Structure 1
């Protein structure tokens, strides 16, 4: 049974990886094995944050406090790992740029093979290049990053999907789940109206997580204060006919939504033109728009889902995806 030290700061999504590692016969040690409490401030830290926000007009200082707490929690977990004196066949890291260097260095010393996967473009995670010498391979999900940073140990790979039950009733016509920004808020508000003009009976669930910087309200959107966990997100996707994808400006890699859609057989509306280059693209399943021009949308929605060749789909399934990462 191959042993893996798994390091990923986002436990919400990490739990899904851990579940499927175990289902596929891997022995897993999860470094961040509980929700990180670094956002829970002491009374002194609360006063510190108030002082900086009110008297120094620094609304970003809160993130410095969070980072200090994260480092403190991380060092405690590292000490526990060191005490166990374990060795691993692989260390698999996701978003290594967010992990302190002392953790990466120690993981390297106890792992036969060290691999990182960047599921965000290097434009927002370039620090991973500082750790290049510690990894056998760094995988990126945007092909352009490999071209833009020659000389580094980079290789491109897509996102994947986790094989889950798909035998559910698709009771939601359209869904989106994401963090609120002004651009997303405006796009989804407008799209809601366009879809309702096509059919007032459409069930449209657009979830946006509020934050202190983007707190607009719309009766058309479902504004939530706490993020949905990834399991809930998958359940919503599974019950949806058409997923909405809003590309981040910083990169062209395909989000997890595209690969969830392969498993759940969802259609997708997106502004990511790079999907045209993928072997699972079909115009009956994926509608590309700039979210200003919706010519052909009604025709797209009227067509049935085009069944993609199973041999194409299984390439992106977690079990095959992780074998490509660990054994090539």
Structure 2
């Protein structure tokens, strides 16, 4: 129990309940964890504006973090662990570094540098910076490459089924060109009489109307085609368990693997993905993973009928949440190899 008795200040955005899973696992590993949402805004409308310009909420954010500092001022932390750092201001980071001089400051990025405004100016304030993005870690010597994880909800024994409720499923947030790819997959599924489940999440109705005005693929769609309430990870795991193959569509400006991709390792589940870089990873097997061109969408003939081929156990466990936490905090080796 490498974290036994350690005090951790954990600051992360709410993202589909994963922040609580991380906090709970650190507690299970023996740490005392104080968790706070990294974002000072909570409404759907504010979160939508945040994506456009985080500086809109600068004054509100400073007031929010002043309250957090007051709550934790008497604590003595071993780690200050931040995820994404989209809204945490530099002046607050420096204040925390002055308050918690014995703490190791760790930052994990589950988004590419290009997609987080102002993040490169904050990296030097952390003792450890890790990212899921291979290009960012290759191009910036301050960043350690470390893929994401699967939680215990997604840890499943390999069971080969003959029948599934869904042949293909997708659950995720709509951004970039994701909906265009989804529409093409739907058309292929209808043509081949595949059963499918698609949960297309938008942060707010404001985002729906914004996309209606700015995205060609939103022509002719209705609000009813989208969901505006986040689905919990336990529900996601249940749906995926009923699915033969899961669809993953990474952001076109990302090379890192999405959370959904790593979760499919945990569930021993087949995957269709647009991420070409997946072929470089140690768990890649063509029987399990079909890589498609997002600009010429096609499901390979016979892929759905192939049985899943189990990966080596030591590779499987490398992507567990426990291993991820220990590596990010530096209590285990961070020498990750693909």
| TM-based fold match above 0.5 | yes
Q: Rate the CA distance shift 1:312–1:174 in 2: closer, same or farther, 3 A.
A: same
Q: Residues 175 and 251 of structure 2 are in contact (CA less than 8 Å); yes or no, is this contact kept in structure 1?
A: no
Residue deviations 1:240-261, cap 9 Å, x none?
3221111212220000111100
Comparing 91-100 and 249-258, the one that deviates more = 91-100
Q: Rate the CA distance shift 1:197–1:67 in 2: closer, same or farther, 3 A.
A: farther
Partner of 2:228 in structure 1?
A: 225
- Counterpart pick for 1:90 among 79, 90, 100: 79
The reply on whether 1:139 has 2:126 as its aligned counterpart is no
Comparing 98-107 and 275-284, the one that deviates more = 98-107
The reply on whether 1:191 has 2:195 as its aligned counterpart is no
Comparing 210-219 and 118-127, the one that deviates more = 210-219
Residue deviations 1:275-302, cap 9 Å, x none?
0000100111110111454566231111
**Moved segments of 4+, more than 6 Å:** 58-63
The reply on whether 1:305 has 2:308 as its aligned counterpart is yes
Shift of 1:234: 3.8
Cα distance in structure 1, aligned partners of 2:37 and 2:322: 22
Comparing 117-126 and 279-288, the one that deviates more = 117-126
Q: Residues 148 and 259 of structure 2 are in contact (CA less than 8 Å); yes or no, is this contact kept in structure 1?
A: yes
Gap runs ≥5 in structure 2? 213-217, 334-338
Cα distance in structure 2, aligned partners of 1:232 and 1:199: 25
Q: Secondary structure at the match of 1:7?
A: strand
Q: TM-score, normalised by structure 1?
A: 0.81
Cα distance in structure 2, aligned partners of 1:149 and 1:180: 29
Residue correspondences, number: 307
Q: Residues 38 and 67 of structure 1 are in contact (CA less than 8 Å); yes or no, is this contact kept in structure 2?
A: no
Partner of 1:106 in structure 2?
A: 95
The reply on whether 1:17 has 2:52 as its aligned counterpart is no
Q: Rate the CA distance shift 1:146–1:225 in 2: closer, same or farther, 3 A.
A: closer
The reply on whether 1:148 has 2:139 as its aligned counterpart is yes
Q: Rate the CA distance shift 1:72–1:172 in 2: closer, same or farther, 3 A.
A: farther
The reply on whether 1:203 has 2:206 as its aligned counterpart is no
RCO higher in structure (CA 8 A, sep ≥6): 2
Partner of 2:146 in structure 1?
A: 157
Cα distance in structure 2, aligned partners of 1:284 and 1:13: 29
Report the aligned-residue RMSD: 3.2
Shift of 1:325: 1.9
Partner of 1:264 in structure 2?
A: 267
Q: Residues 243 and 267 of structure 1 are in contact (CA less than 8 Å); yes or no, is this contact kept in structure 2?
A: yes
Q: Rate the CA distance shift 1:99–1:193 in 2: closer, same or farther, 3 A.
A: same
Partner of 2:336 in structure 1?
A: none
Partner of 1:31 in structure 2?
A: 36
Q: Which structure 2 residues correspond to residues 276-291 of structure 1 after superposition, within 5 A?
A: 276-291=279-294
Cα distance in structure 2, aligned partners of 1:40 and 1:223: 14
- Counterpart pick for 2:121 among 126, 130, 133: 130
Shift of 1:61: 8.7
Shift of 1:98: 2.7
Comparing 310-319 and 203-212, the one that deviates more = 203-212
Q: TM-score, normalised by structure 2?
A: 0.79
Cα distance in structure 2, aligned partners of 1:298 and 1:61: 41
Q: Residues 167 and 304 of structure 2 are in contact (CA less than 8 Å); yes or no, is this contact kept in structure 1?
A: no
Shift of 1:214: 2.3
Q: Rate the CA distance shift 1:157–1:59 in 2: closer, same or farther, 3 A.
A: closer
- Counterpart pick for 1:248 among 248, 251, 254: 251
Cα distance in structure 2, aligned partners of 1:62 and 1:123: 14
Cα distance in structure 2, aligned partners of 1:206 and 1:92: 31
Cα distance in structure 2, aligned partners of 1:185 and 1:113: 40
Q: Residues 264 and 270 of structure 2 are in contact (CA less than 8 Å); yes or no, is this contact kept in structure 1?
A: yes
Residue deviations 1:176-209, cap 9 Å, x none?
1233347222221121120222225x13334242
Gap runs ≥5 in structure 1? 46-57
Comparing 157-166 and 269-278, the one that deviates more = 157-166
